[in-house]
């Protein structure tokens, strides 16, 4: 049996998993899990990148102790963030967290140099204040000496691959998220870089998913006591990996990647760039097999996670099961929020922010934990309906249901709310979609899987899927109308 090693690093935790493919079925075993907690220093928010690299090495050691000698390894992570190397290959400081405030006001400054519609026409990427383009422009404005010292730009998985192999390569799916990649050109948009004063030489030709970018350095092998191993550039944006693992039977399907962020959309043969996509602020990100992902970012379970974190700080910890139970017992459809309002991006106190939003929009203010959670879960489900309807409008397609993957499927209440809100079935599973997609691309590279169609069949044959059917459709219809009114989305 040939096994592979996958590292799936999300915005709040990371994990190492061994994948083993036997007779058309995939077995995935988690062997190492670790927190990913940002560090605040002097008002700036950083990723603890060397700690994360240490945890990757610990995952490799654990694989060795289990007697596993993987045929390859791959890494996926969140998008937009990056590190810079100098001419000697040294990392220039810890990568900043996308919720760091250095990008405050940067979108507007960039638009003064390059109009919004031009950026979209060249990149096809939705406008979010933390996109890589605005992070780099913040360096142009506030720390030009750092850019002057920089020799190469590497996104988070690129950086880990560099530490492991010494090879400096960018990867396609993550590159497309930066709002600096031009899908029509098939590479970085040099004209856009020039107009913003971002040096072109920082960016290398992106490797496609499934490219072997190098092998473990001898120093890494000696340190860890492991043999040389190919390191594959998988679909390194975790959303791209997750979409590769959606167990769809046809090419026309809608997906919801549900975790800290929610990402909803569909797979397309090419980037869809027109005025309506711009107006709705959808995005076109690269996928596996020369596909694109037409999707929209939704704030997701970050809102609930932050509520939980605040309650824990106040000495009242609450489990996921308790949150689901409490929200299920609260009065339905009392108040709503727009999960994507900027006031929820990085507030000082999430529960108070939810209450403030309801107060400012003239709604009943949720007074306790259960009401706050109910408001959050219902609002997420209704926002999913809003985005699904617009995905269909952009593509001219009607989807029979929604594939829901990622850690959010462990919340049966949210899955049921989503089915009821969209008035269609929700097919929930698998939970570890990003890691599974990472593993599948490795097997495709090794020649064990012929392509994405076979990969998705393997997912269907290997992992259970829970079906949720709509309930109380008239009540959810009425709630959706009120949601649109109070959020101003109608």
pLDDT in tens, 53-81: 999 999 999 999 999 999 999 999 999 99
pLDDT in tens, 202-224: 999 999 999 999 999 999 999 99
Q: Which residue out of 81, 100, 189, 238 is catalytically annotated?
A: 238
Q: How far apart are alpha carbons 357 and 140 in whole angstroms? A: 35
- Its pTM stands at 0.95
309 confidence band (pLDDT: 50, 70, 90): very high
pLDDT at 251: 85
Average pLDDT, the chain: 97
Does domain 3-233 bear CATH number 3.40.50.300? no
pLDDT at 460: 98
pLDDT in tens, 6-21: 999 998 899 999 999 9
User: Residue holding tokens 């027109």?
Assistant: 274
396 confidence band (pLDDT: 50, 70, 90): very high
Identical fold at 3-233 and 247-429+465-490?
yes
Report whether pLDDT(1) > 80. no
Q: SS in 3 state form for the chain?
A: CCEEEEEEECCCEEEEEEEEEECCEEEEEEEEEEECCCEEECCEEECCHHHHHHHHHHHHHHHHHCCCCCCCEEEEECCCCEEEECCCCCECCCCECCCCHHHCCHHHHHHHHCCHHHHHHHHCCCCCCCCHHHHHHHHHHHCHHHHHHCCEEEEHHHHHHHHHHCCCCCEHHHHHHHCCEECCCCEECHHHHHHHCCCHHHCCCCECCCEEEEECCHHHHHHHCCCCCEEEECCCEHHHHHHHCCCCCCCCCEEEEECCCEEEEEEECCCCCCHHHHHHCCEEEECCCCCEEEEEEECCCHHHHHHHHHHHHCCCCCCHHHHHHHHHHCCCCCCCCCCCCHHHCCCCCHHHHHHHHHHHCCCCCCCCHHHHHHHHHHHHHHHHHHHHHHHHHHHCCCCCCEEEECHHHHCHHHHHHHHHHHCCCEEECCCCHHHHHHHHHHHHHCCCCCCHHHHHHHHHHHCCCEEECCCCHHHHHHHHHHHHHHHCCC
Mean pLDDT for 305-317 is 95
Q: Which CATH number fits domain 247-429+465-490: 3.30.420.40, 3.30.70.100, 3.40.50.2020, 2.40.30.10?
A: 3.30.420.40
Report whether pLDDT(398) > 90. yes
pLDDT in tens, 356-391: 999 999 999 999 999 999 999 999 999 999 999 999
Mean pLDDT for 168-181 is 98
238 is catalytic: yes
User: Residue holding tokens 């037409």?
Assistant: 294
pLDDT at 453: 96
First to last CA, the chain: 54
Domain boundaries, the chain: 3-233, 247-429+465-490
pLDDT at 240: 98
């Amino acid at each position: 049996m040939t096994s592979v090693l996958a590292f799936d690093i999300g915005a709040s935790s990371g994990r190492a998993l061994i994948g083993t493919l036997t007779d058309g079925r995939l077995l995935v075993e988690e062997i190492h899990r670790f927190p990913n907690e940002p560090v605040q220093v002097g008002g700036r928010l950083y990723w603890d990148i060397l700690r994360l690299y240490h945890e990757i090495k610990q995952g490799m050691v654990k694989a060795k102790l289990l007697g596993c000698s993987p045929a390859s390894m791959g890494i996926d992570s969140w998008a937009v963030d990056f590190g810079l190397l100098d001419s000697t290959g040294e990392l220039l400081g810890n990568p900043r967290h996308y919720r760091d405030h250095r990008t405050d006001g940067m979108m507007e400054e960039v638009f003064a140099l390059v109009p919004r519609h031009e950026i979209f026409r060249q990149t096809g990427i939705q406008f979010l204040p933390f996109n890589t383009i605005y992070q780099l422009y913040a360096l142009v404005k506030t720390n030009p000496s750092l850019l002057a010292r920089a020799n190469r730009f590497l996104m988070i998985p690129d950086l880990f691959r560099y530490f492991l192999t010494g090879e400096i390569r960018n990867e396609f799916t993550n590159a497309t998220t930066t709002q600096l990649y031009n899908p029509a050109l098939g590479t970085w948009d040099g004209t856009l870089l020039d107009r913003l004063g971002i040096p072109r030489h920082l960016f290398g030709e992106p490797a496609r998913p499934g490219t072997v970018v190098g092998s473990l350095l001898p120093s890494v092998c000696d340190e860890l006591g492991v043999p040389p191993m190919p390191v594959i550039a998988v679909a390194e944006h975790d959303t791209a990996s997750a979409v590769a693992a959606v167990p769809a039977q046809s090419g026309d399907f809608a997906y919801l990647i549900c975790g800290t962020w929610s990402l909803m959309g569909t797979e397309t043969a090419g980037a869809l760039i027109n005025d309506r996509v711009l107006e709705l602020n959808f995005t076109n990100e690269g996928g596996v097999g020369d596909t694109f992902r037409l999707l929209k970012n939704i704030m997701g379970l970050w809102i609930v996670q932050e509520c939980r974190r605040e309650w824990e700080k106040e000495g009242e910890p609450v489990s996921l099961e308790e949150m689901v139970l409490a929200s299920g017992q609260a009065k339905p459809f009392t108040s709503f929020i727009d999960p994507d309002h900027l006031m929820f991006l990085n507030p000082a106190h999430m529960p108070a922010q939810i209450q403030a939003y309801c107060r400012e929009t003239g709604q009943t203010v949720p007074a306790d934990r259960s009401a706050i959670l109910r408001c959050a879960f219902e609002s997420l489900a209704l926002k999913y309906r809003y985005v699904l309807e617009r995905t269909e409008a952009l593509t001219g397609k009607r989807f029979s249901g929604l594939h829901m993957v990622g850690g959010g499927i462990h919340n049966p209440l949210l899955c049921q709310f989503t089915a009821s809100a969209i008035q269609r079935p929700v097919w929930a599973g698998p939970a570890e979609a990003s890691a599974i997609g990472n593993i599948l691309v490795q097997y495709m590279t090794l020649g064990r899987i012929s392509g994405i169609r076979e990969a998705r069949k393997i997912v269907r044959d290997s992992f259970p899927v829970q079906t949720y059917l709509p309930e109380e459709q008239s009540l959810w219809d009425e709630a959706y109308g009120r949601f649109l009114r109070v959020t101003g989305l109608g």
